[in-house]
Structure 1
């Protein structure tokens, strides 16, 4: 006999609890996010995408890069269902997902998922980017089920 747990709606973690820091390699990603524009690091020579961004392309060793705007869609590659806020310990259902981004050469990005009940999340589920304001004026890309 299998037991099914009803978790309820998936939520994002409160933005006031999320802090980021940037480096010269990651700052273009975060600046684009402030504009609510999803991007990923792409080699300007060979076209290889890479996330997290690195100073050199792992394919051709070029230092040249560009940051194209992506459509902000993808599919769930992996996920976990969590039921405690990691900062406070309170009961709080959230679903961190690894999303394979469309038009980004296999690049994956981690975020939280909303727009469905946690127990309904499936690998391969289509998602779209959703923006969450966080500390210090930064904006975090999360995802919504479509």
Structure 2
């Protein structure tokens, strides 16, 4: 079945991010001048405004900071998945990222829940980053 949900449109700011996701790697931009790590990707550092960035391979480990269960299909292509979750996770490297937690009932998701990145190949050209529960170390 064809993937019918909206997909991001890669730009010069985030092209490397989406290519790495396709390779099942989570990368984040890091400032070569001050070391700040951010998300979403954009061309200059949000702390010192330096345009010198590099790509840091992230651990994929994160913690749920907040979540919501969507009970109404605001976007029609999401209707078959109602109810679904949207989570805000704090990556181990510092930045926050919106995504979904998969593999568990929505009722089991909670703040401070440890999660890890997983990669969902949704089209031959596109991979989305989602999260699943992980055991605390």
Q: Same fold (TM over 0.5)?
A: yes
Match of 2:35 in 1: 47
Q: Extract unaligned runs of 5+ from structure 2.
A: none
Match of 1:87 in 2: 76
- State the structure with more CA Rg: 1
Q: How does 1:95-110 map to 2 (within 5 A)?
A: 95-102=85-92, 104=93, 106-110=94-98
Q: Is the 8 A contact 1:77 1:124 kept in 2?
A: yes
| Greater CA drift, 79-88 or 59-68 | 79-88
Match of 2:48 in 1: 60
The answer to which structure, 1 or 2, has the higher relative contact order (CA under 8 A, 6+ apart) is 1
**After TM superposition, where is structure 1 displaced by more than 4 Å over at least 4 residues in a row?**
none
Q: Extract unaligned runs of 5+ from structure 1.
A: 1-13
Quick one: structure 1 residues 74 and 83, their matched pair in 2 at CA, closer, same or farther if it must change by over 3 Å?
same
| Greater CA drift, 14-23 or 121-130 | 14-23
Q: With structure 2 as the length reference, what TM-score do the two structures score?
A: 0.86
Number of aligned residue pairs:
131
Residues in 2 aligned to 1:91 and 1:42: alpha-carbon distance in whole angstroms: 35
